[in-house]
Structure 1
Amino acid sequence: MRHRAGLVLGLVGLADVAAAGLYPGIAPDNHTCALADPVLSCSCQARPDKVKDSCCVETFGGLLIATQLWSTFTGLEDKGQVYPKNEWSIHGLWPGQLLQRFRHSPAQLSCSHEERNPDLITQFPGSYTQYCDFSRQYDPRPSPNTTDGQPGGVPVPAYQGESIEKWFEPYGKLDLLAYMRKHWVSQHDSNWVFWAHEFSKHATCFSTFQKECYVSIVKTLHVRGRRRTFQVTPPVAHQGPKASEHDDLFDFFETAVAWQRRLPSFQWLSDAGIRPSNTTGYTFSAVRHALTRAFGQPPFLGCGGPKYNETRAGRGSNDSGRTEINEIWYYYHVNGTPQRGDARKLNADEAGGRLTTCALAPGAIKYYERAEGSEEGDLSAEMMEM
């Protein structure tokens, strides 16, 4: 009994803190961002104490990272869950903080670490924040399951509610749902779980997607204890009276989709002769060059699979990079809000600290074809849906 009582009190206190959001002093009205001059994120003018409305300026981390995935199968092909043909799928839209060395560079507008945002940087050390508002925690399987990713960190309560797919039709968003089912595809899990994860982990950490910018949310968290389920109700924020409950969620999804649509990675690579193949090996420098030429700045290229020096071809090499292409991250600063789509492209090495996890040896990385039946338009995939 003592353990369970302690758990309840701990979770109630946790909900009080997390539900307050990053900017608890935001007023419930007067968020007309068209009347505000756009401010570049990560600039001196983007400090919370400098901006008039943090709903209209990205004031916390300052980085925007549009991320895409390349996977070869979903594991749920028998349910009709397949990837879009000739296209990288959406991973998400993330906020982030600049590396310390980049904060002090001339490209950072000569705005020092202390001048910009000392309290928030101290509160959330490192390059990324996550699960910043438990009143909007819809992720059934939080990963990581603490707010700082450390075993001793604040635990993230698992969502026990209904599928968020049920929320699209009442809001007149069936067209958005159809698009996300096709282009924002999960592996080994239902799509909605992936979407809920991306929203809860990342959207809640943008200043411009804070719930104070939209609506009052009355929500019950379902947190599983050892033997029973406790219900924790966070305090209600005072927000715009005419907004709908999930305006923030749909705004985030639409914004993530908009950024994806301006990044045709598959076509950019294909134009350079880099196409999925189960036999051809590619060199990282060639892939980087193709993406940099098309995007304008080098993005981050992620690889999984075995390390090159653990493969037969790389045995004896010092190259421990991975060998299977699976992710691209595009870095930006934004003028005003991410919703506006006005951004300054950044070098991933300067903004994020690295360009790749891939092997660097010539011909060392593979860009595998998707499995038969795992891509829209495959005959076997169509037969599974019948």
Structure 2
Amino acid sequence: MNLMMKHYQLIPIAAAVAPLASASLYGQSNLNHSCVLSPKLLSCSPPTLHSNASRLLDTCCVETYGGLLLSTQFWSTYTGLEAQGQKLPKDTWTIHGMWPDFCNGSYTQYCDLNRQYDPVPSPNTTNGLRNGTVVPAYKGANVGTFLEKLGKFDLLAYMNKFWINQGAPNTDFWAHEFSKHGTCMSTFDTPCYGPSYVEHEDVVDFFETTILYDQRLPTWGWLSAANVRPSNSTNYTLSEFQSALSKGYGALPYIGCSGPRYNNTVAGAGSRDTGFTVISEVWYYYNVFGHPREGNWIHLNATGSNSSCATTRGALRYLERTPGSLQ
């Protein structure tokens, strides 16, 4: 999907750029990770930012690697694979992923190439540059089979309903999200599971945790309650989306747009407004207490820019789903 790229600075670090990096981000032991015994510290709070945090904390129990978390969603109008039965759910935005940013808003990616399951890595190097370590394309069984082997058929069905790709199979998208983002979280590092680790349970846990937060974010409902609904004839203003989503979430999320820039449209000819004009995504920011799987979060305003959309009154389209694209 061409909407997967983020707008913040990429920071390459040793764990991200070492060829076939170790499965351990912090060199943890695979013993003694009883998180009930660990303090419920807030990610991005001073104790988790200490330069020796990995020695002072159990990084399997407190997110210390990417403590500024984002739950991200798409508004898509088609999948391109409708003929294969890959369609969009009614009256809801779909899952994009859960991203662990550093606390300053920068980020890294593809942190553990031993857990690289993305068949089409994007970008195809660990730092997004030509001089970065190449991320090898995964050629094994798709990640849906990981869920099947662990008996997670209900999870697989849910993901095929609400975590939808565009132009490629859903399983490719899920693999991308885990490989690019999930491997960069200290709390899903494989040593955290101890000596009884079962292959790919970290992948399943990342998917389930992503869904945990997504289920608390009824973007379509919050917008609908403010009379902001998909329409092929009505135009909207960015502030309408910001007001509705801030009211629902309690903090201002990032709102992303695609489509033509406003100053390249007929209505915006001669305007200085270079924002995009088609509503397409939203990112909700938060910190977490303890392990992200526990779901204890604090909502935050978006860091850096809070939108890529045009700000001119009536400049935005929130388009209806394409006929034949609904489940």
Q: What TM-score do the two structures reach when normalised by structure 1?
A: 0.78
Task: Quote the Cα distance in structure 1 between the aligned partners of 2:67 and 2:32.
Answer: 22
Tell me by how many angstroms 1:14 deviates. Answer: 4.5
1:323-382 Cα deviation digits (max 9, x unpaired): 00000000001111211110111110xxx2011000000010100001001112xxxxxx
The residue aligned with 2:39 is 37
Q: Does the alignment pair 1:74 with 2:79?
A: yes
Task: Quote the Cα distance in structure 2 between the aligned partners of 1:51 and 1:127.
Answer: 23
Write 1 or 2 for the structure with the bigger share of helix: 1
SS in 2 for 1:19: coil
SS in 2 for 1:98: coil
The residue aligned with 2:149 is 170
Q: Does the alignment pair 1:284 with 2:238?
A: yes
Task: Quote the Cα distance in structure 1 between the aligned partners of 2:107 and 2:251.
Answer: 21
Residues 1-386 of structure 1 correspond to what in structure 2 (within 5 A)? Answer: 14-16=18-20, 18-24=21-27, 26-46=28-48, 47=50, 48-49=53-54, 51-99=56-104, 127-214=106-193, 240-348=194-302, 352-376=303-327
Task: Quote the Cα distance in structure 1 between the aligned partners of 2:311 and 2:35.
Answer: 45
Q: Which runs of 4+ in 1 moved over 3 A?
A: 13-16
SS in 2 for 1:328: strand
1:64-99 Cα deviation digits (max 9, x unpaired): 100000010000000110111100000000000233
- Structure 1 gaps of 5+ residues are 1-12, 100-125, 215-239, 377-386
Tell which deviates more after alignment, 73-82 or 158-167: 158-167
The residue type paired with residue 21 of structure 1 is S
The residue type paired with residue 39 of structure 2 is D
SS in 1 for 2:222: helix
Task: Quote the Cα distance in structure 2 between the aligned partners of 1:163 and 1:347.
Answer: 36
- Structure 2 gaps of 5+ residues are 1-16
How many residue pairs were aligned?
308
**Identity, % of aligned positions:** 53
2:68/2:100 contact within 8 Å kept: yes
1:51/1:57 contact within 8 Å kept: no
The residue type paired with residue 131 of structure 1 is Y
- Greater Rg by CA: 1
Task: Quote the Cα distance in structure 2 between the aligned partners of 1:58 and 1:311.
Answer: 44
Q: What TM-score do the two structures reach when normalised by structure 2?
A: 0.92
1:268-316 Cα deviation digits (max 9, x unpaired): 0000000000111100011100000110000000000000000000000
| CA RMSD of superposed structures (Å) | 1.3
Question: Cα gap change, 1:15/1:148 in structure 2, threshold over 3 Å: closer, same or farther?
Answer: closer
1:21/1:132 contact within 8 Å kept: no
SS in 2 for 1:324: strand
The residue type paired with residue 41 of structure 1 is S
